[in-house]
Amino acid sequence: MSGKTLQVALIGDRKGDYLPHISAESIVPEIASMLEIKAEAVWIPTEEVDHADMGQFQAIWAGSGPYLSPEGTMEAIRFARENKIPFIGTCSGFKYTIIELAKNVCHAQDPEAYISLNESCGTEYKELTISLHPSTVKEWYAATEAKETSHCRFEINSTYQKQINQHFTFAGTADDGRMVIAELTDHPFFLATLFLPQLNKQSKLLKTLIQSATQTV
């Protein structure tokens, strides 16, 4: 690690005035600095995933949408999953992490049906109180509950909960009843959250993501 700068691929179509985007790109080097290492976020537009060398990155983050190419986003998610690259999907990234699993692991005929039709993301940010279930995520937080910020209101379609449970551990339930943290345990770090950890300057999840990335160097 000496002298090397970790590179985190930020999958998304950047908007310069969009808080989840500007916060994501800034928090990566900030948290790395707390860990006394260097890291940078590198934007990969969703339409350019197919042309990018995803193997050069030590971590992959599918951030907030909307995405010009949902297919490109899912290709990046699949690459991280299959190649054991530390990964986090947040907000829209949560949605497409579930859909990627439905498509490529569960071989669902209608992968998008795994997300409920109540899908929406607004401009109002809301603090969630999240009850943490037994999992490595709970160990990272070192607590029984967590406070995180979200503006996404969609959820997993309960019809397909059994299929999803065969692969993901659900590590956190918000005070509105939605499952908001999904963890793939057979992986160094593979997490999807229905909130925005980049709005938490002390994010335990992003800290662990970057720590995991150091193990891939």
For the segment 187-203, what is each residue's pLDDT rounded down to a tens digit? 999 999 999 999 998 99
pLDDT value at residue 117:
62
Contact criterion met (CB below 8 Å) for 88 and 206: yes
Does the pLDDT at position 130 exceed 70?
A: yes
For the segment 134-174, what is each residue's pLDDT rounded down to a tens digit? 889 999 999 999 999 988 877 888 888 888 888 888 999 99
For the segment 84-125, what is each residue's pLDDT rounded down to a tens digit? 999 999 989 999 999 999 999 999 899 988 888 655 566 678
Please, is 162 exposed, middle or buried when counting C-beta atoms within 10 Å of its C-beta (0-12, 13-18, 19+)?
exposed
Specify the pairing of strand 169-174 against strand 145-152: unpaired
The sheet carrying 145-152 orders its strands as 38-44, 5-11, 59-62, 87-90, 190-193, 179-183, 169-174, 121-132, 145-152
pLDDT value at residue 147:
94
For the segment 199-216, what is each residue's pLDDT rounded down to a tens digit? 998 999 999 999 999 987
Mean pLDDT score across all residues of the chain: 90
pLDDT value at residue 77:
97
Does the pLDDT at position 2 exceed 80?
A: no
From 56, 94, 83, select the one nearest 196 (Cα to Cα): 94
Average pLDDT on 57-73 reads: 93
pLDDT value at residue 3:
65
% of the chain with per-residue pLDDT over 70: 94
pLDDT value at residue 66:
85
Query: Which pLDDT band holds residue 56 (cuts at 50, 70, 90)?
Result: very high
Report d(CA 25, CA 22) in Å as an integer. 5
pLDDT value at residue 151:
85
Report d(CA 171, CA 182) in Å as an integer. 6
% of the chain with per-residue pLDDT over 90: 67
